[in-house]
Structure 1
Amino acid sequence: MSFLPTEGDAIATALKPAGFPLAAHEPVESDRPSRIIVRMYEPTGFQQRVRAGWFAGLEAAERTNLLEEPVGAAQVRKEGAQFTLSPFRIETIALKVKAPDVDLGPEELGRRVEPGQPVYFAHWQHNMHAEPLGASPIGLSLRGEVRTDTHVPQGGYTINTVHVGLVNNLTTPVAGKVRFVLPEGWRTVPAEVPYRLEPRSSASYPVMLAFESPLRRGAVKAQVEYDGQVYEAVLEVGEPARLSWELRPTRRGAVVTMMSDYPQDVNVDAFVIAPHELWGDLVEGAALAEMPSRYERLVVPAGGKARWHIEAPHEVDAWLTVKLAYHGRVEYRQVRLGPAAQKK
């Protein structure tokens, strides 16, 4: 059974609920939509009489522009909505559909949170994706120029002020607390920042940062939690974190060895980039093999070492690139796999 039965030489390029909730950072209702947008185009260069239906039946249909604003009616019969499609024309149709006569029930179509927690909020610095899962309902930033000399001698402390920025991208109020992860011997005043933001609003909160130890290198990490996901902003103080790492082939794939002289644990998003022949079932007949894992959240301990063993088919002659992203930095290494690499 097809969700969208069609007739005529036209190609359907889009099938979606009506509206643009994600573009406006609006919450998406979980109820089944009653208005479906279908976008089709005519590829042959001849005028076509086209029909578009729906598996549970239609109540009405109308033509719209690309902004989904009505521009005209479409004829609806038992078989579906009928309309004429001019040569090479793109047409957008809004279908008011009937609900199916079966209870489909709620179903999880995928994970609801990112596998690596906390999520580095400035994800664009890690060259990752358009938005984390959840479309960033709360914006988070941490800014300030932190001096590491004792410029305010007050009881032996060095005191600075940083600013936590929050944005509510939702259409409902949001409240919570900003928590901080700090190197040993540092503290913030206040220790936590409670907040309440009205819809589509923002706020900035000053926070005092006090050094109560000689340590002047590390990262101030601000974290907020929303809907099961933790977002994190990082402000480095002193010399930034720089991992020393290498990638080398092994009999069963490759191994990444990372070493750190940083005084705090470093969260690392690690990715494997490989030819599509190693993507397994995702490329069906083109696959030569499949790699078990292409992402891992790694933690390099303070002043310590961590390893990531990447399983890969040793009999396949291929290249493999590893990308490490941490504290707003992205680094790459490449290695050759296969029997030839093992002989070197």
Structure 2
Amino acid sequence: MDNPANTWFGLGATARAVLSDPAGSPLGERALGVAEVVVPSLDDAADARPLVVALARVGVTATTSGADWARYGWLDVDSNLPDFRIVLGGPEENDAARELIERAGEEYASVLKTHGAVWVPALTPLAEVWQPGADLRDLRALPALVVADAAALVADLADARIGAVCPSEVVDQLADHTVALLSFGLPGFAVDTTGALHLSLMRSCTGWPSGVWIDPPRRTLPDGASFQLQHWTHEFSYALVGGPGDWRSQTLPAQGQEFNHPLYARIAPPQDGPLPATLSWLRIEPQREVLLGALKPAGNPIAHGSAAAVGRELAVRLVESTGLGRTAELGGALGLSHLRPADLLERPLGEAVERVDLAGSQIATLLAAPGVAAEPGGPVLGPVAEPAQPVHARYWLHNRGPAPLGYLPVSVGASPGLLRTDGEAVELSVALSSQLRDAAVEGTAVVLPPEGWRTSLGSRPYRLEPGGHLRFPVTLTPPAEALPGLHFAAVRIVHDGQEIEDVVTIAVGDLPGLLPVPGDTPEDWTIAQGTKATTGRDTGLDVAVSEEALRVTPGGRTTLGLTLTNRTRGEIRGELQLVSPWGTWEAIADPVRGFTVAAGSSSTVDFEIAAPESTDPGAYWALAKVMWFGRCQYAPTVALEVEA
């Protein structure tokens, strides 16, 4: 079956059964991957939980079924297949154990009685039964471990090995070697019954909804294909690794992380004397067996609706990657101290510890105090405000994706979003709201009417209690000579260094009433599929690109020009994003920016594209996304070719 491949996948043993005959002579080992745990009745399923957890810790997926109910291993209804069974309870209490022992023979009953467990081999090798349309519900279709004491089996699993006695020859013996592919999170993999490893390089959906363009004009790749068909240059990187032992011996989780996060070389500044003995800010022991999942400032006050600042503590997330359990210690130049266990919300759970005992496959969060402090006036980690200001309060209307920086804990809304008038005054309802739960917030809401219009309220000071909101009306009166067309009224606040505004569109006269601009032809007033993103009659903003195709050499530069033409009666403010496929992002240093276009005028924005020297030749594309006042448009797609 096809499965997601995160950073690696391989062929080897997840866990193993170490088999011997009744006299104690070794018979070999059998790899364990996916288990069916058969309990006497589904009423007993809860009793199997410690065993299922123990299997999961060492990497074995398990599904619990009952001897008296539907069984696992039929591809007509199941999404995957088990490769062995564990039958809990002897023949006296589990009907599945009774049937299995009866069919296997008296010698298996004798071993079970003497040793408390017995390994019953399958009648047919696994490769012959793992086939399309497989039905493995028959008890002899898979090898099975019948065990009377589940607690003893849980204890035996601590080293990812199960010791078992088998009175006959064992098929499907383990070759104790592992082969794996390291990848960059490719979409899927499969290992077939011959041992061949298959890797899916691309996967896409060409149907609904991702393959459908809802708002005209439809945008496509330069060759006319849907974006989902991925008709451009792709680079796939993966590495083949292998060696004796299982995935733990090869430290494959660490190898996958290292392949996905290569070291970046930097030129060290000149200094007196030799370089320090270690340049590591953080070391985790045992290396490559306990991995770093996250290192970040502790806490996220905004997620709790808090106005508190992020503290000085750091959150360290550790991942036990062997399934066997390890004791972790932290070192390095950060000088982390006062380690305290924390929950997933990074709230402390207990007293400080010197080292951390991790169970198999455990993910643990710690709070720690760094022993070094940031230098005064040092760099701020990451931006603190959006590059495009003001921020539109209803950002989701821009098909923007994530919320703006800061998550807008204090926001403003004006409604209705669209008004029509033949010259009469119109009224807006303005709402201010705070998501902060532990602090009041104060500020001033500023009303920005269309040019020449009168407003009943130019500004409104406000104070919002924790979790509070308020609403107030605003009346806008047009001048007697108000011209037909689209006008815009905004209400704006400032919070935490960002301007946040909501905008209402006011249509005066018959629609569309939009402005022609010099150089227009009748064709400009129809919906075009060529170099215009939309027409004036559609949204009020035309978007045109300077070129249909751009070419650049490695180390060279070129420019994509975007001309914005405002056919409305008001100034348009918005945000531009230049979208391009992975592999070109380094070439576009400044893909996000704000823009302003005065009424009835045009403005050109240039995006510089500078291909690094290391860029491989290939065919790509770029698409400008234009967002303004709750609207979203896309410019025509431009072909971007990197020439040799």
Residue among 419, 428, 434 paired with 1:168: 434
User: What corresponds to 1:294 in structure 2?
Assistant: 591
Aligned residue among 311, 331, 335 for 2:638: 335
1:180, CA displacement in angstroms? 2.2
SS state at 2:338 partner: strand
User: Structure 1's 103 and 178: CA in aligned 2 closer, same or farther, altered over 3 A?
Assistant: closer
- The counterpart of 1:308, out of the listed 592, 596, 605, is 605
Amino acid at match of 1:180: V
1:104-115 equivalences in 2 (<5 Å)? 104-109=375-380, 110-115=382-387
Does the aligned pair in 2 maintain the 1:146–1:162 contact within 8 Å? no
Shift in CA distance, 162/272, structure 1 to aligned 2, threshold 3 Å:
same
Distance 1:98 1:119, change over 3 A: closer
Match for 1:269 among 575, 579, 598?
575
What corresponds to 2:325 in structure 1?
Answer: 47
Question: Unpaired runs of 5+ in structure 2?
Answer: 1-278, 513-537, 552-557, 612-616
Residues 296 and 314, structure 2, Cα contact 8 Å, conserved in 1: yes
Choose from 97, 114, 123 the match for 2:395.
123
Aligned partners of 2:417 and 2:505 also within 8 Å:
no
Paired position in structure 2 for 1:285: none
Rounded Cα–Cα distance in structure 2 between residues aligned with 1:103 and 1:260: 47
Bigger strand share = 1
Distance 1:339 1:72 in 2: 56
Corresponding residue for 1:218?
A: 487
Find the counterpart in structure 2 of residue 10 from structure 1: 290
The CA deviation string for residues 26-70 of structure 1, in whole angstroms up to 9 with x for no partner, is: 23436x61x432211122222222212464545533333323455
Structure with higher helix content: 2
Please give the secondary structure, in 1, of the residue aligned with 2:425.
strand
1:185–1:215 contact (8 Å) kept in structure 2: no
Instruction: Answer whether contact 2:446 2:491 (CA < 8 A) is retained.
Output: yes
Structure 2 counterpart of 1:284 = none
Match of 1:26 in 2: 306
Kindly state the Cα deviation for residue 117 of structure 1 after the two structures are TM-superposed: 2.0
- The CA deviation string for residues 218-244 of structure 1, in whole angstroms up to 9 with x for no partner, is 111111123442211111122584322
Amino acid of the residue matched to residue 26 of structure 1? Answer: S
Who is 2:625 aligned against? 323
Alignment of 1:50-69 (within 5 A): 50-53=328-331, 55=333, 57=335, 59-69=337-347
Supply the distance in 2 between the matched residues of 1:334 and 1:11 (Cα, whole angstroms): 42
- Percent of pairs identical after alignment? 26
Contact map agreement 1:146 1:160 (CA 8 A) in 2: no
Evaluate the alpha carbon distance shift between residue 336 and residue 71 of structure 1 in structure 2; reply closer, same or farther with a 3 A threshold: same
**Paired residue type of 1:320:** A
- Quick one: distance in 2 between partners of 1:4 and 1:339? 39
- Structure 1 window deviating more from structure 2 (125-134 vs 36-45): it is 125-134
Partner of 2:414: 142
1:254 to 551, 560, 568: 560
Structure-1 residue corresponding to 2:541: 243
Q: Corresponding residue for 2:364? A: 91
Gaps of 5+ in 1: 77-81, 151-156, 281-289
- 1:24 and 1:218 map into 2 onto residues whose CA distance is 39
**Counterpart of 1:294 in structure 2: which amino acid?**
P
Partner Cα separation in structure 1 for residue 585 and residue 298 of structure 2: 33
SS in 2 for 1:207: strand
Query: Could you tell me the TM-score, scaled by structure 1's length?
Result: 0.80
Matched-pair contact (CA < 8 Å) for 1:7–1:52: yes
Look up the SS of the partner of 1:22 in the other structure: helix
Contact 2:449/2:489 (<8 A) preserved: yes
Which structure would you say has the larger Rg? 2
Are residues 275 and 6 of structure 1, via their aligned partners in 2, closer, same or farther at CA, if it must alter by over 3 Å? same
Aligned to 2:468: 201
Deviation of 1:13 (Å): 0.6
Aligned 8 A contact 1:146 1:161 in 2: no
CA distance in 2, matches of 1:189, 1:209: 7
User: Could you tell me how far apart the structure 1 residues matched to 2:322 and 2:568 are?
Assistant: 62
Post-superposition Cα deviations, 1:2-21, rounded to whole Å, max 9, x if no partner, equal 33321021111112333331
Q: Does the 8 A contact of 2:432 with 2:470 survive in 1?
A: yes
Secondary structure in 1 aligned to 2:583? helix
> Are residues 2 and 26 of structure 1, via their aligned partners in 2, closer, same or farther at CA, if it must alter by over 3 Å?
farther
Q: Distance in 1 between matches of 2:321 and 2:450?
A: 61
The one-letter code of the counterpart of 1:338 is: E
- Cα distance between partner residues in 1 of 2:400 and 2:444: 27
The answer as to whether partners of 1:176 and 1:224 remain within 8 angstroms in 2 is yes
How far apart in 1 are the matches of 2:417 and 2:489? 12
- Offset of residue 215 of structure 1: 3.5
**How has the CA–CA distance of structure 1 residues 60 and 310 changed in structure 2, closer, same or farther, with 3 Å as cutoff?**
closer
**Cα RMSD (Å):** 2.9
The answer to whether the Cα contact below 8 Å between 2:305 and 2:435 also exists between their aligned partners in 1 is yes
Tell me the number of residue pairs that the alignment of Structure 1 and Structure 2 aligns.
Answer: 316
Determine helix, strand or coil for the equivalent of 1:190. coil
Counterpart amino acid of 1:90? I
Structure 1 residues 279 and 131: CA distance shift in structure 2, 3 A:
same
Return the letter of the residue paired with 1:318: Y
* Of 315-324 and 218-227, the range deviating more from structure 2: 315-324
Q: What SS class does the counterpart of residue 23 from structure 1 fall into?
A: helix
Secondary structure at 2:420 match in 1: coil
